[in-house]
Amino acid sequence: MKRGELFRVYKGNKNDPKDYRVYLIVSRQLLIDSQFPTVICAPIRTSYGNLPTQVEIGIDEGLKHDSAVYCDDLISLPKTMLTDYIGSISDARMDEINAALRIALAV
100 pLDDT above the threshold of 80: yes
- State residue 103's pLDDT score: 97
Just give the CATH number of 5-105: 2.30.30.110
Tell me, rounded to whole angstroms, the distance of Cα 28 from its chain centroid. 13
The b/e string for 29-53 (b: 16+ C-beta within 10 A; e otherwise) is: eeebeeeeebbbbbbbbeeeeeeeb
Residue type, 18: K
The per-residue pLDDT for range 9-68, each reduced to its tens digit, is: 987 777 777 788 999 999 999 999 999 999 999 999 998 888 999 999 999 898 999 999
How many Cβ atoms from other residues are within 10 Å of residue 58's Cβ? 14
Residue type, 51: L
Nearest to 42 by CA among 59, 60, 93, 34: 93
CA distances from 49 to 31, 36, 45, 106 (A): 31, 34, 11, 20
Could you tell me the pTM of the whole model? 0.92
Domain boundaries, the chain: 5-105
- State residue 47's pLDDT score: 84
